[in-house]
Amino acid sequence: GKTISQFQVKMFHRSQEKTSGNVMKATIPYIKVDIPIWVVFRGLGVISDRDILEHICYDMQDVQMLEMLKPCIEDGFVIQDREVALDFIGNRGTTTGLSRDRRIRYAQEILQKEMLPHVSMAEGSESKKAYFFGYMIHRLLLAAMERRELDDRDHFGKKRLDLAGPLLSNLFRMLFRKLTKDVYRYLQKCVETHKEFNLTLAVKHQTITNGLKYSLATGNWGDQKKSMSSKAGVS
C-alpha cells in the first residue's frame, strides 16, 4: 500500500518569519522547504486573492479571520500566475538541475500524487484538493482564534486502524513479490549455468505459507528478516 502522506499546514509566529503577522505555510512531500499557502493555491489553479479567500473563509463578513489571512496574501503576492507558482514549488524539490518545463511537470506530479492523495490522485482533481486544503486552513484558523478546541491527537476516533483484511492483503502482496523474485533468480541461474528449468525447485511454496503462519502466530506483520520494520500488533 501507499505510505501516509506527510502533507501539513503550519502557522508560524510573526517573529519566526519576520512578517507583520502570523504566516501559514504548507509542508509538501519531496519539497525541501515550506511553501506559502497562497503559492500552493495558485499551483492548484486558484489564482485570484478573492477566490483563495472564498476557499478558506466561508463568511466574507468575518473580519477577524480575514485579518489573520492578510500576512499570507502579502507572503504570496510576488507570484500571481499558476506556471510561476508551479516553477517556484518544483525549484525547491529534491530533484535538482531540471529545465523550467520539467520543474513545472515535477511540481504538478507532486501536487497530483503526493498532496492529499486520499482526496484524489487522478488528473484534474486540483479543484477538490483546493477546497480540502482551504478547509484545513479554516480549521487551523478557528483553533488559532480559540473558536474551537484543539483536536485531541490521542482520541481513538483520530487513530488509523489496520484490520485483518488490509494486513493480510499487504502481507500476501509482499510474500508473492518475494516468491516471484526467487523464481526470477532461479531462472537466471538456469540460463547462466545451462541447467534444465525445474518448476518444483523454482516455486518455493513455503515462502507464502511460512510467511502467513509467522505473522498469524506472532502478531508481527511483515518480513521475518526485517522484524525491526514490521508492524507489531495482535493476531
Going residue by residue through the chain, which has 235 residues, state the pLDDT in tens, using 9 for 90 and above: 556 778 999 998 766 555 556 899 999 999 999 999 999 999 999 999 999 999 999 999 999 999 999 999 999 999 999 999 999 999 999 888 889 999 999 999 999 999 999 899 999 999 999 999 999 999 999 999 999 998 888 888 888 788 888 889 989 999 999 999 999 999 999 999 988 988 888 998 899 999 999 988 888 887 776 654 567 766 6
Residue 160 CA to residue 217 CA, distance in Å, equals: 23
Q: In this structure, are residues 57 and 138 in contact, taking their beta carbons and an 8 Å threshold? A: yes
Contacts 24+ apart (CB under 8 A), 197-205: 203/179, 204/179
The pLDDT assigned to 5 comes to 76
The pLDDT assigned to 29 comes to 92
Length of the chain: 235
The pLDDT assigned to 85 comes to 97
C-alpha cell at 103: 520543474
Residue 132 CA to residue 137 CA, distance in Å, equals: 9
The pLDDT assigned to 223 comes to 72
List of domains in the chain: 8-151 (3.90.1110.10), 164-232 (no CATH)
Contacts of 140 (CB under 8 A, 6+ apart): 9, 11, 24
The pLDDT assigned to 158 comes to 81
Q: In this structure, are residues 52 and 41 in contact, taking their beta carbons and an 8 Å threshold? A: yes
- Single pTM value for the model: 0.71
Distances from the Cα of 222 to the Cα of 2, 122, 174, 178, 229, angstroms: 15, 30, 8, 12, 8
C-alpha cell at 7: 502533507
Coarse DSSP helix, strand, coil percentages of the chain, rounded to the nearest 5 percent: 55, 10, 40
